[in-house]
Structure 1
């Protein structure tokens, strides 16, 4: 089993440095099934000096190979990484994830155990992703209930045989905006009969800066993008499960409409309260409250994109 850790990145150099250094020092047991590993970094058109830093640190980062492309999005970046990878097993992580020293061994053990238990190699593993604001020592963050994910296939921390990715058709590069490209591939993997094996021993610490009000315009834009990509997801897989995932149901319209009072609780009307919480040292609580109007923007984005799709279909 040879691992290729594929990491798309775009303007995340400071945390990418921590990400790659953690992968450089992996502990593999003497009896491991892992014959070796590489780290394939795909730069998606960064403008923060990522490629130059990678080039100047080649000796330090002996496991890293770097590739580059124009800014085409994470789906295209991951596809390029898989196509150029040497490994028979692919691990996807994000470039703002810092892993523990037994990360690769944990995925390998879970893959082997899963295959033995199921009597099949149609398995993939999903590790823990722990969210943290602690840049200096991200691994000090404990696991929290808010870190739980029910996603079937999410590329924040997943290991899968390369052949299944190729049989499923890799990522759909039409997902150029934010969101859903990994879960859409997950639908196709599920159709191939692959089983998800949870792997809590493969821990990655997902760093993001503490929430502040300056982030809100970008977060709103991401929710609108996620709505548009959600409709593309539904076009490909018009099922009730997908509608639930992308929040394109009457239930979500009512839920977020009521909680946001029809959009009246928004980034403007809640700014003072959110800033109060931030000033009290509670940025995470402020973010969770902001999700009320962020989800409202998402639902509005979904239905606007769906209406646009229907309009184009009837006028064609």
Structure 2
């Protein structure tokens, strides 16, 4: 098989370098005839494109595609349109993979194709979150790294024909969130099977949590709420309501867990600050998820009222 790794990127130059170096260092298996890396720059302003052009000798497998800022859905679709492979691997530009990453996806795909007699499947690798920029692959696997998503573009591989049959990503998702899970819902309805591939490991880097990030995290929750309702309008089912937390159960759950809003980003700040000083920024972020979830669910219901949804 010929694998095209499609990576949309926006202002991620430092970690993108580690991402691309890891992909250049792959140990292809017998199933892989060749592979390429298609980087779609989404209008970065941090010098990503100039750096990539100047570094072409370091990354001989990389092809750079440029677009004005249109979001990851548009970027992934553009990447697929320029890809030459018959298998598409999606990862994010802040993911650093292991040397056997592509070989693991290829073996799992080939085995499932042989078992089923068709290509209606995709492989879903493991994503381990880390704040260790210097050595991201040193992070251990944690319980909170587990994902219950059906299809998420942080680490998946799929036959190109199956992907194109699904209609690719909906570019109506221009804000943060849900464009990959919405595609996953269409794949599920097509009968495309999820094949877990824990051997295909990627380390998702993000900076350690700081209090200064709170306004941006709140903005993201509000964007997720708006995009969640775009998802629901396309697939108005109980399943999607549960996925986006658009249920009274979730509304009551987060109200109770935040004591009716008494536990919020402001009242938690002293505790969050103390946890960060104690070297526990991940724990601080997990604690902040309580009011963030409440804010997200309340934003869903506000937006739904404006849109006439129930």
* Range class of TM-score, shorter chain: over 0.9
Match of 1:222 among 209, 220, 223: 220
TM-score w.r.t. structure 2 length? 0.98
Counterpart position of 1:105: 103
TM-score w.r.t. structure 1 length? 0.96
Q: Deviations along 1:128-150, whole A, 9 cap, x unmatched?
A: 00001111101111111111111
Query: Structure 2 regions of 5+ residues with no counterpart?
Result: none
Q: How does 1:58-137 map to 2 (within 5 A)?
A: 58-137=56-135
- What is the CA–CA distance in structure 2 between the aligned matches of 1:188 and 1:46, rounded to whole Å? 30
Counterpart position of 1:147: 145
Q: Deviations along 1:139-172, whole A, 9 cap, x unmatched?
A: 1111111111111110000000111111111100
Report whether the alignment pairs 1:40 with 2:24: no
Report whether the alignment pairs 1:15 with 2:21: no
- What is the CA–CA distance in structure 2 between the aligned matches of 1:145 and 1:165, rounded to whole Å? 30
Note the aligned Cα RMSD (angstroms).
1.1
Q: CA deviation at 1:239?
A: 0.3
- What is the CA–CA distance in structure 2 between the aligned matches of 1:59 and 1:275, rounded to whole Å? 44
Q: Deviations along 1:60-107, whole A, 9 cap, x unmatched?
A: 100000111111110000000001111111000000000000111000
Q: How does 1:300-311 map to 2 (within 5 A)?
A: 300-310=298-308
- What is the CA–CA distance in structure 2 between the aligned matches of 1:88 and 1:185, rounded to whole Å? 19
- What is the CA–CA distance in structure 2 between the aligned matches of 1:194 and 1:278, rounded to whole Å? 43
- What is the CA–CA distance in structure 1 between the aligned matches of 2:33 and 2:275, rounded to whole Å? 50
In the alignment, is the contact (CA less than 8 A) between 2:2 and 2:35 conserved in 1?
A: yes
- What is the CA–CA distance in structure 2 between the aligned matches of 1:13 and 1:306, rounded to whole Å? 37
In the alignment, is the contact (CA less than 8 A) between 2:5 and 2:37 conserved in 1?
A: yes
Counterpart position of 2:181: 183
* Structure 1 residue ranges, 4+ long, deviating more than 4 angstroms after superposition: none
- What is the CA–CA distance in structure 2 between the aligned matches of 1:18 and 1:153, rounded to whole Å? 25
Q: Which moved more, 1:114-123 or 1:70-79?
A: 114-123
Helix, strand or coil for the counterpart of 2:127? strand
Q: Which moved more, 1:109-118 or 1:244-253?
A: 109-118
Q: How does 1:278-293 map to 2 (within 5 A)?
A: 278-293=276-291
In the alignment, is the contact (CA less than 8 A) between 2:113 and 2:119 conserved in 1?
A: yes
Helix, strand or coil for the counterpart of 2:198? strand
- What is the CA–CA distance in structure 2 between the aligned matches of 1:49 and 1:256, rounded to whole Å? 41
In the alignment, is the contact (CA less than 8 A) between 2:105 and 2:123 conserved in 1?
A: yes
Match of 1:165 among 148, 163, 166: 163
Q: CA deviation at 1:116?
A: 2.1
Q: CA deviation at 1:118?
A: 2.5
Helix, strand or coil for the counterpart of 2:90? strand
Q: CA deviation at 1:262?
A: 2.1
In the alignment, is the contact (CA less than 8 A) between 2:119 and 2:162 conserved in 1?
A: no
Match of 1:199 among 193, 197, 200: 197
Q: CA deviation at 1:117?
A: 2.4
Number of aligned residue pairs: give it.
310
